[in-house]
């Protein structure tokens, strides 16, 4: 497939690396102790891993499938197995993107991707309530960063109208589901503004992957903007019940990350048990749509029972903040619920702004009707 001219600058930078013999690529291999099995089945004695005591296979022995535990090296050295590639291919298929790559955590995926893509001379526009991993990515990048008020599309357009001309590339960075508020980002409006001002969207689907959309790929699918959001980051550690993070997008963006994104280059690749459990979770997301239907139905039920108002499109988000205000009061209410057998954490600053402490309910498809009834009754008495 040809490279979209939109990414000419990234592809030129990759060509420069190729010219000077520094282009890095992933080569899937499998480890058998100190032997490395290549894709064609041939074997090499492995002098590239950091498994100094030979324990990766030994501690992996106790796992049900007797796999090596850690990946023993970064993805670009010898920590990228055929199972990592299989997981990346599954993600790209679900996301309907050209390519994907997996990271040791969602935090690393968010911070590393933004730090790598936001280069000197670029502008990053970041929603005020973005997750810390996105904020840290903005801070680590060499781009100028402007924070716009939460979901305020007029302010965003205004900043871009004023500043866009001074920058090379512009990026709009947002959570798709805001983890402390249960809000959805207005992705269609963001994409319109992106088109208007030639700015690319980078979104963090951490709380949406597996939950939203008919196929469970997230909020971009749910809001019908999959083809308008270039770079989608997600985590394997929430709805997928595993560990790790991912980025899905055009092949050239993924190749660029492999060559410039520090957590991919300088951190040990995702552990194999996490890779296997994430692959199984993707199977289940495909085979068991009833899980996402269940949690979305519960979210609607609890919101309706408690009279929590929100946009109908947001009613299915399984994160429900119960506004409280003062920190002490939030802690007290959380303790009261605990005494009746319910764990609902109190969220205080700096996770939320001063004076906006809250209880945060997060629902699961595994909650029974009876449990949810107790939650509703408990919250109603506060």
**Interacting residue ranges for ligand PLP, rule: CB under 6 A:** 105-107, 110, 131, 133, 175, 179, 204, 206-207, 235, 237, 245
Q: Between 49 and 232, whose beta carbon lies closer to ligand PLP?
A: 232
CA distance linking residue 274 with residue 258, whole number of Å:
20
Q: Between 70 and 234, whose beta carbon lies closer to ligand PLP?
A: 234
CA distance linking residue 56 with residue 70, whole number of Å:
6
Gap between the terminal Cα atoms of the chain: 58
Residues 6+ apart with CB under 8 A from 189: 153
Query: How many CB atoms sit inside 10 A of residue 65's CB?
Result: 8
Q: How far is the CB of 106 from ligand PLP (least distance, A)?
A: 2
Q: How far is the CB of 321 from ligand PLP (least distance, A)?
A: 14
Q: Between 204 and 221, whose beta carbon lies closer to ligand PLP?
A: 204
Q: Which residues pair with 109 in a beta bridge?
A: none
Q: How far is the CB of 268 from ligand PLP (least distance, A)?
A: 15
Q: How far is the CB of 336 from ligand PLP (least distance, A)?
A: 26
Token digits for 260?
A: 């410039």
CA distance linking residue 358 with residue 200, whole number of Å:
33
> Length of the chain in residues, anyone?
382
Q: How far is the CB of 210 from ligand PLP (least distance, A)?
A: 13
Q: Between 10 and 145, whose beta carbon lies closer to ligand PLP?
A: 145
Q: How far is the CB of 310 from ligand PLP (least distance, A)?
A: 18
Q: Between 57 and 239, whose beta carbon lies closer to ligand PLP?
A: 239
Q: Between 235 and 269, whose beta carbon lies closer to ligand PLP?
A: 235
Q: Between 122 and 205, whose beta carbon lies closer to ligand PLP?
A: 205
231-235, strands of its sheet edge to edge: 99-103, 245-249, 231-235, 199-204, 170-175, 123-127, 144-148
Query: How many CB atoms sit inside 10 A of residue 360's CB?
Result: 20
Q: How far is the CB of 326 from ligand PLP (least distance, A)?
A: 24
Q: Between 36 and 88, whose beta carbon lies closer to ligand PLP?
A: 88
Q: How far is the CB of 29 from ligand PLP (least distance, A)?
A: 25
Q: What are phi and psi of 99, to 5 degrees?
A: -155, 170
Strands 43-45 and 35-37, sheet pairing? antiparallel
Q: Which residue has the tokens 């805001």?
A: 178
The answer to whether 148 touches 127, Cβ cutoff 8 Å, is yes
Residues 6+ apart with CB under 8 A from 87: 102, 275, 278, 279, 282
């Amino acid at each position: 497939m040809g490279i979209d001219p939109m990414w000419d600058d990234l592809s030129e930078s990759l060509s420069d690396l190729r010219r000077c013999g520094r282009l890095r690529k992933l080569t899937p291999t499998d480890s058998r102790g100190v032997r490395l099995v290549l894709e064609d089945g041939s074997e090499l004695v492995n002098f590239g891993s950091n498994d100094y005591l030979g324990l990766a296979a030994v501690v992996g022995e106790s796992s049900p499938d007797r796999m090596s535990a850690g990946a023993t090296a970064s993805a670009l050295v010898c920590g990228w197995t055929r199972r990592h590639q299989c997981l990346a291919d599954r993600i790209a298929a679900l996301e309907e993107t050209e390519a994907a790559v997996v990271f040791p955590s969602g935090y690393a995926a968010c911070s590393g991707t933004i730090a790598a893509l936001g280069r000197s001379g670029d502008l990053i526009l970041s929603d005020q309530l973005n997750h810390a991993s996105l904020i840290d990515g903005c801070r680590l990048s060499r781009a100028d960063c402007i924070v716009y008020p939460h979901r305020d599309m007029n302010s965003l357009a205004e900043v871009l109208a004023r500043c866009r001309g001074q920058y090379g590339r512009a990026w709009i960075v947002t959570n798709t589901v805001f983890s402390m508020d249960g809000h959805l980002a207005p992705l269609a409006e963001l994409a319109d503004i992106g088109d208007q001002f030639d700015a690319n969207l980078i979104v963090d689907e951490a709380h949406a992957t597996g939950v939203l959309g008919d196929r469970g790929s997230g909020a971009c699918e749910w809001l019908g903007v999959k083809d308008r959001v270039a770079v989608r980051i997600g985590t394997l550690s929430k709805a997928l019940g595993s560990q790790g993070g991912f980025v899905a997008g055009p092949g050239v963006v993924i190749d660029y990350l492999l060559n410039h994104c520090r957590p991919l280059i300088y951190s040990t690749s995702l552990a194999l048990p996490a890779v296997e459990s994430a692959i199984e979770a993707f199977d289940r997301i495909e085979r068991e749509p009833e899980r996402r239907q269940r949690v979305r139905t519960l979210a609607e039920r609890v919101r309706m029972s408690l009279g929590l108002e929100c946009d109908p499109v947001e009613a299915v988000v399984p994160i429900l903040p119960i506004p409280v205000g003062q920190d002490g009061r939030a802690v007290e209410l959380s303790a009261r619920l605990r005494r009746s057998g319910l764990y609902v954490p109190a969220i205080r600053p700096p996770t939320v702004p001063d004076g906006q402490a809250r209880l945060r309910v997060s629902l699961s498809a595994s909650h029974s009707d009876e449990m949810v009834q107790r939650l509703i009754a408990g919250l109603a008495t506060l």
